[in-house]
Amino acid sequence: MAKAKSDEKAGGNGAATKTASSPQSRRAKLASFEAARKKEQRNRTIRLLVICFVLAMALLAYPVYLFIDDYRARNATRADIGTSLADAGCDPIAENEATGNQDHVPDGTKVPYAQTPPDSGSHYANPAPFTKHFYAEADRSAVETLVHNLEHGYTVVWYRANAPDKEINNLQRISKTFGSDDYNPADKFIAAPWSDADGAGFPAGKNIVITRWTADPSDPADVTKQRGVRQACTNVSGAAIQDFMAKYPTESSPEPSGA
């Protein structure tokens, strides 16, 4: 009986000890949970700050990249942009009788050109802006407008609107090598897209067609000596464009003094 009382007393002390320690245990768990929560909150804050920092650097870096890329393009050697002349896949230069000298048609008139893309022909009364060298589909002037630029001695490089991005990017880089002097013959260059909506006939397998409207420099008004000149190439080549422009200078055009 004494042993039973002893056991009962011992059991009672254990229960009392367990009961007494429960609040302390709960506080320890709550403190642990709170510490873990704060740690996770700190980690989330750090991750958010890192993401914000990376995004901020990206936003700052992109304009810098564009500036550097534009600077490099404007100061690049034209012949080094794109593929080499040997790898450009250019057809032999073709010449055909030119038409449409000083033949202005009303704006909005759709002119059926003998060559597509055209290298001469009737056109609108006003040419495209002289200082803009590259057009995308969204901002391109009408074909009939650009033909007027051909009459003034511009080299117009028509590119297939769905050409590979690499080819279009190279052509855009080439366009940046030309200056903005309206009357400088060396700066008379325009690159413009040609889509199916403009008409069928873009040379199969080619991505660009380099065009010029030439004339006898000693008598530019002699229409019998005017020619439409063109060269189709598979790949964009600054060397090919430079070579073409050297063979057919601006001075040899129907109206070379026009801007």
pLDDT at 16: 47
One domain for residues 156 and 41: no
123 with 174, same domain: the answer is: yes
Same domain as 213, residue 86:
yes
Model confidence at 190: pLDDT above 60: yes
pTM for this prediction: 0.72
Average pLDDT along the chain: 86
104 and 153 in a single domain? The answer is: yes
252 part of a folded domain: no
In a domain, 5, yes or no: no
Q: Do 89 and 107 have their domain in common?
A: yes
Q: Are both 90 and 190 inside the same structural domain?
A: yes
Single out the residue in 55, 75, 95 at which a domain terminates: 75
Under the banding of pLDDT at 50, 70 and 90, the label for residue 60 is confident
Identify whether 31 is part of a domain.
yes
Provide the 10 A C-beta neighbour count for residue 64. 9
User: Which among 75, 104, 127 is the end of a domain?
Assistant: 75
What's the one-letter identity of residue 1? M
Residues 141 and 30 in one domain: no
Bridge partner list, 233: 90, 208
- Residue 22: inside a domain, yes or no? yes
Range of the domain at 20: 15-75
Please tell me whether residues 56 and 103 are part of one structural domain.
Answer: no
Structurally, how many domains does the chain consist of?
Answer: 2
Q: What percent of the chain has pLDDT over 70?
A: 85
From the number of C-beta atoms within 10 Å of its C-beta (0-12, 13-18, 19+), residue 207 rates as: buried
Tens-digit pLDDT profile for residues 11-43: 445 444 444 457 778 777 777 777 778 888 888
Q: What is the mean pLDDT of residues 152-168?
A: 97
Asked if residue 146 is part of any domain, the answer here is yes
Q: Are residues 120 and 221 in the same domain?
A: yes
**Is 117 inside any structural domain?**
yes
Residues 102 and 213 in one domain: yes
- 192 shares its domain with 71: no
Sheet of 227-233: strand order equals 94-97, 227-233, 208-214, 155-160, 189-194
In a domain, 7, yes or no: no
The answer to whether residues 61 and 137 belong to one domain is no
Let me know if residue 181 belongs to a domain. Answer: yes
pLDDT band for 59, please (50, 70, 90 cuts): confident
For 142: left if phi > 0, alpha if psi spans -120 to 50, otherwise beta; the answer is beta
pLDDT digits (tens, 9 = 90+) for 214-249: 999 999 999 999 999 999 999 999 999 999 999 999
Report whether pLDDT(65) > 50. Answer: no
